[in-house]
Chains A and B, each alone.
Chain A
Amino acid sequence: MTTHVTSFRMTNRMNCFKRVQPEVERFAMAHGLSPKCTFHLTLCLDELITNIIDYGYADFDEHPIDVTITLENGCVSVRIEDDAEPFNLLEAPPPELEVPLEERTKPIGGMGIHLVKTMMDGIEYTRKNGRNILLLRKCVCDDGALAGAPHE
């Protein structure tokens, strides 16, 4: 089966959404991903990279963030690699979903990561050579995402 890949580099000085959204949109259009799947991918990249940019760096230097999106066998994989402080989102505490909003200590805390964990089918985190490597996986065959895919 054909593998489709796109890669791009951004930095912590860039506007996250404006850099990420056109890349995801272009990839999704080219390979017939559904609007819902496109939204999930954009949202997850936006949430995760915004976190890296806002909380990941102890200095004020410019840092690269590398993103690779792969479509293979009905699954989209997203790889994010950065040289920010170690951060394993799998260990991040969940938001207080069961506590009424008025009583939550952090009403919105952790919500971005909760959205990512819910919308993706698989998450792997590795810290290697001073870099965070995050692998996200989402199966797109179950929501009709590839229904309109162009014929190979």
Chain B
Amino acid sequence: MTESKENGITILTVNGNLDAEGTQALEEKVLALLDAGETSLLFDFTGLDYINSSGLRILVLAYQRLKKASGKVAICGVRDYIQEVFEVSGYDKIFPLFRDRAGAVGSM
């Protein structure tokens, strides 16, 4: 997982698997960023191979916290079978999903 900043947006790039360990690391990172006052978060999932309901929970947590702070959260680069997880869970209606990072940064 790498963290970067573009146009005031904090980008978390997650590669590989959001299994129990990966999800815990992501949760700690997201909570630290939110506690530090970040209000624009973009999850770049271009290199993400796996996510489960615990991983989705972290995205919802970020959404709920940022909603109260009038912040923004978006996701980019999800592959087709992970996109389906967002559709099945109904989260594709909550999170703006962008094809790539440039499109997301330009629209947020």
Nearest CB in chain A to that of B94: its residue: A101
| A47–B88 CB distance below 8 A | no
CA separation between A35 and B79, bound complex, in Å? 11
Any B CB within 8 A of the CB of A114: yes
Whether B85 and A107, one on each chain, are in contact in the complex, defined by CB atoms closer than 8 angstroms, is no
Report the bound CA distance from A42 to B49 in whole Å: 11
Which residues of A (91-134) have their CB < 8 Å from a CB of B? Answer: 95, 97, 101-102, 107-108, 111-112, 114-115, 118-119
Nearest CB in chain B to that of A108: its residue: B57
Closest to A98 in B: B90
Instruction: Determine whether A17 belongs to the interface, using a CB cutoff of 8 Å to chain B.
Output: yes
**Please, which residue of chain A has its CB at the minimum distance from the CB of B67?**
A102
Q: How far is the CA of A118 from the CA of B19 in the complex (A)?
A: 20
Find chain A residues with CB under 8 A from B88 CB: 114-115, 118-119
* Interface of chain B residues 56 through 75 with chain A (CB within 8 A): 56-57, 60, 63-64, 67
Tell me whether A108 and B60 are in contact in the complex, defined as CB-CB below 8 angstroms, given that A16-B20, A17-B17, A115-B85 are known contacts.
yes
A107 to B58, CA, bound (A): 11
Q: Which positions 1-33 of chain B face chain A at CB distance < 8 Å?
A: 17, 19-21
The reply to whether A111 and B20 form a contact with Cβ atoms under 8 Å apart is no
Question: Please, which residues of chain B bring their CB within 8 A of the CB of A118?
Answer: 88
Per-residue CB contact flags for chain A residues 1-29 toward chain B (1 = under 8 Å, else 0) read 00000000000000111100100000000
What size tier do the contact residues of chain B reach? 20 to 34
Q: Give the residues in chain B near A119, CB-CB below 8 Å.
A: 88
Q: In the complex, what's the smallest C-beta–C-beta distance from B40 to chain A, in angstroms?
A: 19
Q: Say yes or no for A46: interface residue by CB 8 A criterion.
A: yes
Residue of B nearest to A111 (CB): B53
Task: List residues of A (32-46) whose CB comes within 8 Å of B's CBs.
Answer: 35-36, 39-40, 42-43, 46
Contacts of A35 in B (CB 8 A): 81
Q: B20 to A39, Cβ gap below 8 A? A: no
Interfacial residues of chain B within 73-102, with CB under 8 A of chain A in the complex: 80-82, 84-85, 88-90, 94
Residue from the list B17, B50, B53, B81 in contact with A108, Cβ < 8 A: B53
B19 and A18 form a contact (CB under 8 A): yes
Instruction: Verify B19–A46 contact, CB threshold 8 A.
Output: yes
16 contacts between A and B (CB under 8 A): A15-B20, A15-B21, A17-B19, A18-B19, A21-B17, A35-B81, A50-B52, A50-B54, A95-B89, A101-B60, A102-B67, A107-B64, A108-B53, A108-B56, A111-B89, A118-B88
